[in-house]
Every structure is written in C-alpha cells, then in structure tokens.
Amino acid sequence: MKLPAALVCCLLITTLTAQAEQEVILSAGKGLGNALMQRDSIASAEMAGVNYSAKFAEFPLDSGLWQWWVQGSYSQLQLTDDGEQQEQNVTELKPVLRWYPRSTAEGLFGEAGVGAAYLSEKSFGDIELTTHGNFALHFGAGYRLRNGAVASVRYSHFSNAYTNTPNPGFDFASLNWHFNF
C-alpha cells in the first residue's frame, strides 16, 4: 500500500500536536473468524502495524480520567488463500477516547476509536469488500505503569457500515506496545 500516505498523515498529526503527549504503538496480531462482526473468516491472517497517537485533550472527572487522542495507523495483513499469498494494507485516521478509572493516567484503562480507513485490496481471503474506503472501529484495554510503559490488547473492525451492500467487513485482534514521548 501507499506507506507514504501513512507517513504524511503521521507528519500532519505531529505538526498539529507538537506540544502534546505522544506515543508510537507497535502492533502484532491475527485475523479473526466470523464469530463477531465479519461474515467470513480471515483467521489465518497475520498482522503487523505501527500507530502514531497524540493526546489533544484530558478531562479529570469523578468517574476517572478521560483523554482524547488522535491516531494515525498503518497495518499490513498477510495470508495464504488457495495457495496464493495475499496482502492487505490498511491506513487509518481516527479519534480515540481513553478512560482510566483513577484520577491519574496509570493502571488499567479502556479505549475506543471510530474513524476512517483505506484498504488497499477489495478481495482478501474469503472476504469481498465493496469499497476501498471503510469505517474503522476498535475497542481496547491496557495497563500503564508509573514509568509510562504501556501494553494493550485491541479488537479492530473495518467495514462500510452499510453505506454499500453487501457489508462483509473484517476483524483482527492485536497485542500492542506503546512508546510514550
């Protein structure tokens, strides 16, 4: 896919958020079967990705600490289908809401993000997408140590959200390591 597009997106975010807390997130994961939102399986797919996030707002409330982040991501999925090696490149841009139950950004957290994604291939494994442009959705949970080290798990879903039919979509799960600066 167009890795330069992902880099341009990350550079734009960096320019807009130069003074904010930032993180680079390295991801590794697997495609999922059809048990959740997707219609067909890509369970044999392997995934690797990199995300850049910048915090742009923080709200300490009685219910905990709420943070808004903007995130640009590039992920590559690979699988073998009928003896043919296939590759799917995903570029995303989305706001992410992160919640810590404490009043500080440490310990357990949950997060969710909804945004836009561009998928390089309409056909991937058993899945036939109708559009290259899709909605990106993720739910995650993680743990942040006092020294700032963060590990998280994430479920990601991509589909056209019924703006076109059919709407097969695809899902993957990932383990992530965050590098804060």
pLDDT value of residue 94: 98
Contact of 168 with 141, CB cutoff 8 Å: no
pLDDT value of residue 164: 80
Domain boundaries along the sequence of the chain: 3-16+23-180
pTM: 0.85
The CATH fold assigned to 3-16+23-180 is Porin (2.40.160)
- By percentage, how much of the chain surpasses pLDDT 90? 64
Query: Does pLDDT of 132 surpass 70?
Result: yes
Instruction: Indicate the residue type of 81.
Output: D
**SS3 state of residue 56:** strand
Contact of 95 with 115, CB cutoff 8 Å: yes
User: Per-residue pLDDT tens for 41-90?
Assistant: 788 999 999 999 999 999 999 999 999 999 999 999 999 988 899 999 99
- Rounded distance between C-alpha atoms, residue 144 and residue 108, angstroms: 6
Q: Which of 8-12, 89-93, 130-134 has the lowest mean pLDDT?
A: 8-12
pLDDT value of residue 6: 57
CA dihedral 137, 45, 22, 160 (to 10 degrees): -20
Instruction: Indicate the residue type of 142.
Output: G
Instruction: Indicate the residue type of 115.
Output: G
Q: Which residue has the higher pLDDT, 167 or 8?
A: 167
